[in-house]
Structure 1
């Protein structure tokens, strides 16, 4: 089965009643966990982006504490899993400030992580890649925010 384009879907949805739209949304939410998470964000979290960011940071703290530090293989695997979930949350939000905040916090947690990521070239590459993405995202923000976030980046890079 070939999926219809967004334009065609939008046109078809415009012909549906509010009850039919409600049923479609609920069936989407039942179908896949990611759809349910997106719907939850749109309904409950989107109005308060700061709280959303705070909750994700708290979740990140817990995930970093749970990492198995017996070998760099396990550390790398856990870090990739954390990064995947962060990217998913960023996709839900679609706001550059949220992206910058979450990726900066991820990089900070990675830099503070013991054992040091500098002992693993792969972990260091993950960190470097995310910092590049943060810098690219910062360029698209307002000048005042650019200055604030750039100073945070400098602080992270100079502290460790």
Structure 2
């Protein structure tokens, strides 16, 4: 079965009653965990963005605590999974400030992680790519926010730069 476009779905939803829309939403939430998570965000957490950010940050910290540190292979897999979750949570919000906050927290947690990520090229590259992504997002934000976020970014970049110097 081929899915129709969002425009077509929107037109069709306009012709449905509120009861039918309710049933459609509930049925949609039964099929995929992401759909249920998005509905949870929209219904319960979208009105308190700072609370949502703090909840996600706590989950990120918890995920970093459970990483298997026996080898860099397991660390890389876990870090990628955490990053995938962050991107998903940022997509729910659609606010660039939320995405920046979550990515900054991720980079800070990754920087402080033991064993050091700077001893592994792949993890170092993941860290650097996130710094670049944050810079790109921050450049489109309000000037005051840019200034605040750039201060944090400079600290994170300095750590990355210093670790590369020590490798040489």
Match of 2:166 in 1: none
- Tell me how far 1:157 sits from its aligned partner: 2.8
Provide the residue aligned with 1:154 in structure 2: 154
Q: Deviations over 1:60-91 (max 9, x none)?
A: 11110111111000100110111111110011
CA distance in 2, matches of 1:146, 1:84: 25
What is the total number of aligned residue pairs between the two structures? 160
Distance in 2 separating the partners of 1:14 and 1:48:
28
Q: CA deviation at 1:158?
A: 2.9
Unaligned residue ranges in structure 1 (runs of 5+): none
Distance apart, 1:154 and its partner CA: 1.1
1:114 counterpart SS class: coil
Match of 1:49 in 2: 49
Provide the rounded CA distance (Å) in 2 between the counterparts of 1:132 and 1:153.
10
Q: Residue 29 of structure 2 contacts residue 35 of structure 2 at CA under 8 Å; is this kept in 1?
A: yes
For 1:88-123, what per-residue CA distance to the aligned partner results, in whole angstroms no more than 9, with x for missing partners? 001101100001000010001000001111110000
C-alpha displacement of 1:155: 2.1
Shift of 1:51: 0.2
Q: Which structure 1 residue ranges, 4+ long, deviate > 3 Å from structure 2?
A: none
- Partners in 2 of 1:35 and 1:23 — Cα distance? 14
Structure 2 residue matching 1:145: 3-state secondary structure: helix
User: How far has the Cα of 1:159 moved from its partner?
Assistant: 5.0
Alignment partners' CA distance in 2, 1:29 and 1:135:
35
Taking only aligned residues, the RMSD between alpha carbons, in angstroms, comes to: 0.9
Which whole-Å CA distance do the structure 2 matches of 1:59 and 1:33 have between them? 17
Instruction: Quote the Cα distance in structure 2 between the aligned partners of 1:112 and 1:4.
Output: 46
Find the residue that maps to 2:126 and give its secondary structure: helix
Gaps of 5+ in 2: 161-168
CA distance in 1, matches of 2:91, 2:136: 16
Alignment correspondent of 2:7: 7
